[in-house]
């Protein structure tokens, strides 16, 4: 037991030396390095348990960092459907005009994303079909 504990402690020290963000580091560089490592692991070794450790630390950093305070506040105030639509637009690299069939004009898409208008039931149905997501995710 003592030998295993000693090995675990030494391995932890080596891991933190290699990935300082897992320790007490809160530097922007170490945060960005941790993000890059997670992306690399997802692409090359998606079963690696280091992904779980890093994503917990990354989430805590993003939730508590003043650098993300304004963003976090805006996300909290944004309706879930709008947040999902923004994410889908970003992921699929779409322009507002790409959503003409599902929502309508670019100005209507802009009004929805800015909170001036709401998604209608027909918008939600069309968006859920286009993106293959459940309609309730927009509610």
Average pLDDT over residues 16-38: 94
Average pLDDT over residues 50-75: 89
pLDDT band at 124 (very low <50, low <70, confident <90, very high): very high
User: CB count, 10 Å around CB of 84?
Assistant: 20
pTM to 2 decimal places: 0.57
| Average pLDDT over the chain, rounded to an integer | 92
pLDDT at 31 (0 to 100): 95
Environment class of residue 124 by beta-carbon count within 10 Å: exposed (0-12), middle (13-18) or buried (19+)? buried
pLDDT at 115 (0 to 100): 87
Domains of the chain with bracketed CATH:
2-68 (no CATH), 78-138 (1.10.260)
Q: Of 87, 35, 37, nearest to 59 (Cα)?
A: 35
Rounded distance between C-alpha atoms, residue 4 and residue 51, angstroms:
23
SS3 category, 120: coil
pLDDT at 1 (0 to 100): 64
The proportion of the chain whose per-residue pLDDT surpasses 90, expressed as a percent, equals 78
CA distances in angstroms from 133 to 85, 125, 126, 129, 136, listed in the order given? 11, 10, 10, 7, 9
Q: How many CA within 13 A on the CB side of residue 124?
A: 13
pLDDT at 74 (0 to 100): 78
CA distances in angstroms from 65 to 19, 22, 27, listed in the order given? 19, 16, 10
pLDDT at 48 (0 to 100): 95
């Amino acid at each position: 037991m003592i030998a295993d504990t000693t090995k675990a402690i030494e391995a932890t020290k080596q891991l933190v030396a290699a990935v300082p963000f897992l320790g007490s580091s809160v530097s922007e560089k170490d945060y960005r390095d941790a993000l890059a490592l997670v992306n690399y692991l997802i692409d090359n070794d998606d079963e690696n348990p280091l992904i779980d450790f890093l994503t917990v630390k990354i989430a805590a950093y993003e939730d508590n960092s003043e650098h993300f305070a304004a963003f976090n506040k805006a996300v909290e105030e944004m309706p879930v459907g709008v947040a999902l639509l923004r994410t889908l637009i970003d992921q699929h690299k779409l322009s507002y005009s790409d959503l003409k069939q599902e929502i309508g004009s670019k100005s209507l898409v802009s009004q929805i994303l800015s909170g001036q208008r709401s998604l209608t039931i027909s918008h939600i149905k069309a968006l859920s079909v286009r993106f293959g997501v459940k309609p309730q995710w927009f509610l």
